[in-house]
Amino acid sequence: MTSTLETTDLRKAFGGVTALDGATVAFQHGKVNALIGPNGSGKTTFFNCVTGMIKPDGGAVTYDGRDITGKAPHTIARHGMGRTFQLCRTFPRMTALENVLAAVPVGGLLPGLRGARRRSEIDRAMSWLTRLGIEHLAGSEARDMSWGQQKLLELAGVLMSEPATVLLDEPAGGVNPALLDRIGVLVRELNAEGRTFVIVEHNMDLVMSISDHIVVFDRGRPIASGPPSVIRTDEKVLGAYLGV
Ligand SMILES: Nc1ncnc2c1ncn2[C@@H]1O[C@H](COP(=O)(O)OP(=O)(O)O)[C@@H](O)[C@H]1O
Ligand SMILES: [Mg+2]
């Protein structure tokens, strides 16, 4: 199995709090990977370190065999990794279409020239909105959209850069059941088209139904990894979650 995103002995502490405690992890190329674990086990910190949002204190990150440890977020994005945020980042007073366009790197264009964006980019933004089922909201301000719709909007913005690997931080958090099903189907469809996913998610039904490979964190390091069938019955995992 080829891995894509790998870390070796990744470490990060915030003051006296150890968020990542020597995490050595490999996610699989072309698969839907999940990263699960109790609250505070370091999942978001892991995403922040591998996407360059924060610098790890130690350890290494490689993406498709390339050392990306400590590289800037825009550099890592250029290598093909895109991500969403646990607390959804959209511009509340911009329309859905404007939000998706704003997510595209403008390549040094002056702000005043951004309005002169090529028609093709607008078409591409509209097609992602359509693909995610929110094209009818293209002209609505993000603040008037539901939480789940805003999460889809954020994902549309990420997909505008055509990332080979998509990291999703709690895509189902606070999302209603109908949208949740759609997110699951979308992830599988986008994966079938060749995109690798790494998904941090608490909804175990969703995780177990869409993942090929699961890594379980506890206290800043992996305690188990494998397919859903193995993870479901792993005693260390049950212990970490249920205090067994
Ligand atoms: N910016 C920060 N400053 C201080 N502590 C942080 C910061 N980010 C995360 N932490 C702490 O690091 C630990 C791991 O947090 P986090 O990575 O958000 O876990 P998870 O996403 O698994 O819930 C927690 O104890 C959290 O309080
Ligand atoms: Mg988190």
30-62 confidence digits (pLDDT tens): 999 999 999 999 999 999 999 999 999 999 999
Q: Average of pLDDT values for 77-84?
A: 92
Helix (H, G, I), strand (E, B) or coil at 74: helix
Contacts of 180 (CB under 8 A, 6+ apart): 148, 172, 203, 206
Q: Is 63 exposed, middle or buried (0-12, 13-18, 19+ CB in 10 A)?
A: buried
Reply yes or no on whether the pLDDT at 109 is more than 70: no
pLDDT of 113 reads 58
Label residue 121 exposed, middle or buried (CB < 10 Å: 0-12, 13-18, 19+): middle
- Angle among Cα 42, 65, 4 to the nearest 5 degrees reads 55
Q: How confident is the model at residue 239 (pLDDT cuts 50, 70, 90)?
A: confident
Query: At 194, phi and psi to the nearest 5?
Result: 115, 0
Task: Please give the number of the atom of ligand 1 that sits closest to the Cα of 200.
Answer: 21
Query: How many whole angstroms separate alpha carbon 111 and alpha carbon 51?
Result: 25
Q: Is 20 in the pocket of ligand 1 (CB under 6 A)?
A: no
> Is residue 195 within 8 Å of residue 219, measured between CB atoms?
no
Three-class SS of 126-160: HHHHHHCCCHHHCCCEHHHCCHHHHHHHHHHHHHC
Q: Does the structural domain 1-80+164-244 have CATH classification 3.40.50.300?
A: yes
Q: Is the CB of 45 under 6 A from ligand 1?
A: yes
**pLDDT tens digits, one per residue of 193-217:** 999 999 999 999 999 999 999 999 9
Asked whether residue 235 carries a pLDDT value surpassing 90, the answer given is no
pLDDT in tens, 140-184: 999 999 999 999 999 999 999 999 999 999 998 888 888 888 899
| Tokens found for residue 235 | 């005693």
Using a 6 Å cutoff on CB, does residue 44 contact ligand 1? yes
Domain ranges of the chain: 1-80+164-244, 90-162
Q: Please, what is the average pLDDT of the chain?
A: 91
Q: How many angstroms separate the alpha carbon of residue 218 from the centre of ligand 2?
A: 13
- At 228 the pLDDT is 95
Rounded to whole angstroms, the Cα distance separating 30 from 175 reads 26
